[in-house]
Structure 1
């Protein structure tokens, strides 16, 4: 076996990356002065007085997110316009100078309280680009930004994600800023060591588009050079561009195959997040009330992202009232109902299984059905091909299978197939490339008792920690 293959097989996630991956599906909430000016990107010259939601209700946001099956919420605490949704001590351009709550309001606190009440993880978005602050383009601005970052991360409880984008344009004085990324990261690691730093950061990789497109093979183990891709100023987004918003970068379709990593230097665990908005825009616009994404489109993104070894970050923008619009709430509820009804009854619970081989008694195939992410099946080290035969106990009808690797040991599986036994013959009905944290397979309904999972290609040796079987709506 080539040394680079064994090397790639041993790359594994940090604890913070694993906790983030287990969040799976969570909300982005874009809310600022843009909501009241009907813009996507503010200019930085907006008066704080225009921020005046009439009925802001963060609990309504949290309830809607929970109804969809989400496990977290990331709030745009400051967007490119520089307006802060908390009463920052480092600037007057914030809610403390708005009429909302008579200047005593704090959106971040209300959202953090709602997240705790409804058991959602809280994340923060803080834009390094600031079109309002006169310090932008100077070393003093980097100090200001780190002060604000420390302020946000110190006063609102545990933060699971700090989300940076790479947008970098001119400030109010015409200058551009050289961002002190390493300094920003240092503050986060010091104050919130369990938070992942996403997109322009070392922990979570942007999938590469805002259109909800996902790769067929989404590798978490990739060349280290990808870590800095979104931070390159010349390639950053510098204008509100619909074309950029819907861009799908097909040239980056393969990020982690053997061919890609063969001659790579350092390899890192850098998993993907898929982000898109429930509407065409990221902020609320009344003319988009009839353009909420259809249920089937959201389900497709869910299956491709959460079901394809990534996470799904779905934006829902509050309206001028400070509430999610009724159409958005309705769609979120519909989405959650379908997901819950599909994945509530695991038909594989209590199944038995035998493998072509197992490493030892602690790594036998029966571990696939114990719902314990720390236990797993694995053959002997160096065994790249193996199979598992599953007995469901009786004939059952199903059209979904969920597979999970033990990613604490690395990402190993490169190609697999699944068959069912029909009389004495095995018939293939599904196949795939990577598995990773989670792979959801959809197919037409099958009635069978016996299944066989064959690992056709893997790195060093495969692992599987879970196999779940479900009957959902037609594939």
Structure 2
């Protein structure tokens, strides 16, 4: 026993000595040749200066699940339920299940169309605020089991899961915490128990889940109900360890609007405390942090927060004015969808585009047409980069450093793609781009104005005025939190 104790003391002494003035790495830290990385979160010491906070923030990185989620880039939403048949956006919870009767439901069509358009993940509203469940749940009769669909034997979530597997597309589910039909809603733990049973049914019965969407919407006049998000997430992590939780979850942040536009300056590592924390509302409010704010991660934010979190942005928007299908509405134009793409995926965010099925249970032909055009635009525009090297990495780029990239041949260009290696942190605060053409360098402009080139993050796409006969480009790191790591650079020509 004494021998074991001596060995323990020797090992502990070595660890303490080797760490010097640094603390022993905690469970959420990793180390490489460049120093410590903080996975998902770091708490600042009370005495930390702004310079120390900036340096620590530069080493916060996403979890593996968050990184895989961000790399999907294009994801889709499907709002389908009793609202499809009532023409409402928010139901009442009093709808008769008998109205849910799609005449020619084709879940296979939904997933096939989205897959063909380039989407990598599809999220279905398994239960919206009205409480109507699209699966065979044991928790309530307010479900597809009480509807005429397949004589009450249908299971939309099962059909959806099967289609996702068939087309090799990732699956997500939306389960509204607000439930207008549940008699236990507003009673506290009884409703949390009810919700946990529903969630458990979904995360154990339908295969692998990539994203769980926990909506924060609720009518201000609805009964007061404290959601136990920590408990919900424990269930998710137990049965679906590879899934991310969004909005009221801890992994993915709502961008702050439903128009389809992200922020030009978008930090994946930022000061807003994720909504899943019990004290998040009071904490964020005390610091003036709101999801609709223009700034969540700048140095000004770092000055006043105690912690920063890797909490990347998801941009949700519907292809139509409403989230559910309405006969008189029309889909957005191709030009509008392209603009949304550049200002969501191109602004260091993931796009979540809603496409609602109609009363038949199918996508409208007009929606299918524009989705096909949208997917074709992205595929053709970004099929072949015009720079010489397929991979254009740039490691340890210092403030003031520049790097030139040559084109394969003099070409017309009007799109820049640039990415940071976010598994080494998001670090660039400002950069500039020049194009060499006709014997001279010129800074790129968008609509004859110099664009706001601040953050990069996972991906920044910049559309600019077409430059003819471009021979090379030059990237300069103007401001950064510490040495930056650029994982990809390329240029393209967009016909629109």
**Does the alignment pair 1:53 with 2:102?**
yes
> Counterparts of 1:87 and 1:250 in 2: how far apart (Å)?
35
Aligned to 2:435: 420
Give me the CA root mean square deviation.
2.1
Aligned to 2:212: 162
Q: Kindly tell me: are residues 463 and 170 of structure 1, through their superposed partners in 2, closer, same or farther at Cα, counting changes over 3 Å?
A: closer
Aligned to 1:309: 348
User: 1:401-427: per-residue Cα shift (whole Å, max 9, x none)?
Assistant: 111100000101111111122455322
User: 1:322-353: per-residue Cα shift (whole Å, max 9, x none)?
Assistant: 001111111111111111111111112x43xx
User: 1:282-324: per-residue Cα shift (whole Å, max 9, x none)?
Assistant: 1111121xx3111111111111000110011011111110001
In the alignment, is the contact (CA less than 8 A) between 2:256 and 2:291 conserved in 1? Answer: no
> Counterparts of 2:465 and 2:179 in 1: how far apart (Å)?
50
1:397 CA drift (Å): 2.2
Q: Which moved more, 1:392-401 or 1:71-80?
A: 392-401
| The one of 402, 414, 417 aligned to 1:402 | 417
> Counterparts of 1:385 and 1:285 in 2: how far apart (Å)?
53
Aligned to 1:216: 264
Q: Kindly tell me: are residues 303 and 115 of structure 1, through their superposed partners in 2, closer, same or farther at Cα, counting changes over 3 Å?
A: same
Aligned to 2:52: 3
> Counterparts of 1:250 and 1:233 in 2: how far apart (Å)?
11
1:66 CA drift (Å): 1.9
Q: How does 1:28-43 map to 2 (within 5 A)?
A: 28-43=77-92
Aligned to 1:280: 321
1:230 CA drift (Å): 11
Larger Rg over CA atoms: 2
1:391 CA drift (Å): 2.0
Aligned to 1:205: 253
Three-state SS of the structure 2 residue aligned to 1:465 is strand
> Counterparts of 2:236 and 2:269 in 1: how far apart (Å)?
24
1:54 CA drift (Å): 0.6
Q: How does 1:197-276 map to 2 (within 5 A)?
A: 197-225=245-273, 227=275, 252-276=293-317
In the alignment, is the contact (CA less than 8 A) between 2:70 and 2:350 conserved in 1? Answer: yes
In the alignment, is the contact (CA less than 8 A) between 2:129 and 2:180 conserved in 1? Answer: yes
Three-state SS of the structure 2 residue aligned to 1:150 is helix
Q: How does 1:52-131 map to 2 (within 5 A)?
A: 52-131=101-180
**Does the alignment pair 1:342 with 2:363?**
no
In the alignment, is the contact (CA less than 8 A) between 1:220 and 1:272 conserved in 2? Answer: yes
| The one of 447, 451, 458 aligned to 1:437 | 458
> Counterparts of 2:237 and 2:292 in 1: how far apart (Å)?
33
In the alignment, is the contact (CA less than 8 A) between 1:224 and 1:265 conserved in 2? Answer: no
Aligned to 2:479: 457
In the alignment, is the contact (CA less than 8 A) between 2:249 and 2:274 conserved in 1? Answer: no
Aligned to 2:403: 388
Aligned to 1:322: 361
Three-state SS of the structure 2 residue aligned to 1:252 is coil
What residue ranges of structure 1 are gaps of 5+ in the alignment? 235-248, 352-368
Aligned to 1:468: 490
In the alignment, is the contact (CA less than 8 A) between 1:80 and 1:128 conserved in 2? Answer: yes
User: 1:78-118: per-residue Cα shift (whole Å, max 9, x none)?
Assistant: 01111100001222211111110111111011111111111
> Counterparts of 1:379 and 1:149 in 2: how far apart (Å)?
44
1:377 CA drift (Å): 2.2
In the alignment, is the contact (CA less than 8 A) between 2:105 and 2:360 conserved in 1? Answer: yes
Q: Kindly tell me: are residues 308 and 282 of structure 1, through their superposed partners in 2, closer, same or farther at Cα, counting changes over 3 Å?
A: same
1:175 CA drift (Å): 3.2
Three-state SS of the structure 2 residue aligned to 1:87 is coil
1:224 CA drift (Å): 4.4
Q: Which moved more, 1:152-161 or 1:222-231?
A: 222-231
In the alignment, is the contact (CA less than 8 A) between 1:85 and 1:95 conserved in 2? Answer: yes
In the alignment, is the contact (CA less than 8 A) between 1:33 and 1:46 conserved in 2? Answer: yes
In the alignment, is the contact (CA less than 8 A) between 2:434 and 2:475 conserved in 1? Answer: yes
Aligned pairs, number: 432
Q: Kindly tell me: are residues 231 and 49 of structure 1, through their superposed partners in 2, closer, same or farther at Cα, counting changes over 3 Å?
A: farther
> Counterparts of 1:60 and 1:333 in 2: how far apart (Å)?
13
Q: Kindly tell me: are residues 230 and 392 of structure 1, through their superposed partners in 2, closer, same or farther at Cα, counting changes over 3 Å?
A: farther
> Counterparts of 2:422 and 2:280 in 1: how far apart (Å)?
30
